[in-house]
Amino acid sequence: MPTDISDMKRNYRTAVAGDFPDELSIGLARDANLQLRYGENPMQSAAVYGFRSKGISLAELTNVRLAKTGKGGVSAINLMDVLRAMDVLKYFEKPAVAVMKHNIPSGFATQCTLNDKTLLELYKNARDADARSAFGSVVVFNRTVDKDTANELLETYVEGVAAPEYHEGVMGILEQKKDLRVMQFSNLDRLPKFVGDDTEGLYDMKVLPTGRVVVQKPYLTSIKSASDLVLDAMVMDERGKEHVVNRKPGEAELEDMLTAWYVNFGVRSNGIVFVCDGVTVAVGSGQQERIGAVEQALEKGFKKAMDREGIKYTHYDWFRHIEELDVYPFFGSVCSSDAFFPFRDSIDTMAEFSVIGAIQPGGSKKDSEVIDAVNEHGMVAAFTLERCFGHF
Q: Tell me, yes or no, whether 244 and 331 share the same domain.
A: yes
Task: Please say if the pLDDT value at position 49 is more than 80.
Answer: yes
pLDDT at 38: 86
pLDDT at 293: 95
Q: Tell me, yes or no, whether 171 and 315 share the same domain.
A: no
110 touches 94 (CB < 8 A): yes
Task: Please say if the pLDDT value at position 258 is more than 90.
Answer: yes
Range of the domain at 291: 222-383
Total structural domains within the chain:
2
Q: Tell me, yes or no, whether 120 and 252 share the same domain.
A: no
Domain membership of residue 389 (yes or no) is no
Domain membership of residue 206 (yes or no) is no
In tens, the pLDDT along 187-243 reads 999 999 999 999 888 888 888 899 888 888 899 999 999 999 999 999 998 898 999
Which 3 state secondary structure label does DSSP give 258? helix
pLDDT at 56: 64
Distance CA 91, CA 95 (A): 11
pLDDT at 73: 81
Task: Please say if the pLDDT value at position 86 is more than 70.
Answer: yes
Q: Tell me, yes or no, whether 132 and 280 share the same domain.
A: no
In tens, the pLDDT along 300-347 reads 999 898 888 888 777 666 667 676 666 689 999 999 999 999 999 999
Q: Pick the residue with more confidence: 23 or 80?
A: 80
18 burial via Cβ count (<10 Å: 0-12, 13-18, 19+): exposed
Domain membership of residue 210 (yes or no) is no
Q: Tell me, yes or no, whether 166 and 252 share the same domain.
A: no
pLDDT at 328: 85
Residue among 314, 375, 308, 353 nearest 127 (CA): 308
Domain membership of residue 155 (yes or no) is yes
Q: Tell me, yes or no, whether 141 and 69 share the same domain.
A: yes
Distance CA 306, CA 81 (A): 27
Q: Tell me, yes or no, whether 85 and 134 share the same domain.
A: yes
Distance CA 113, CA 116 (A): 7
Four-point Cα dihedral 264, 96, 63, 133, nearest 10: -60
- Who's near 306: CB < 8 A, 6+ residues apart? 313, 318, 321, 325
Domain membership of residue 198 (yes or no) is no
Q: Tell me, yes or no, whether 319 and 269 share the same domain.
A: yes
pLDDT at 41: 85
pLDDT at 51: 75
Domain membership of residue 119 (yes or no) is yes
Q: How do strand 3-4 and strand 233-236 relate by DSSP bridges? A: parallel
Residue among 382, 95, 362 nearest 253 (CA): 382
Q: Pick the residue with more confidence: 7 or 377?
A: 377
Q: Tell me, yes or no, whether 375 and 251 share the same domain.
A: yes
pLDDT at 39: 86
Mean pLDDT to the nearest integer, 3-29:
83
pLDDT category, 147, cuts 50, 70, 90?
very high
Task: Please say if the pLDDT value at position 55 is more than 90.
Answer: no
Domain membership of residue 292 (yes or no) is yes
Q: What is the CATH number of the domain that holds 170?
A: 3.40.140.20
pLDDT at 341: 96
Task: Kindly report which listed range (23-32, 60-69, 116-125, 261-270) carries the lowest average pLDDT score.
Answer: 23-32
Domain membership of residue 205 (yes or no) is no
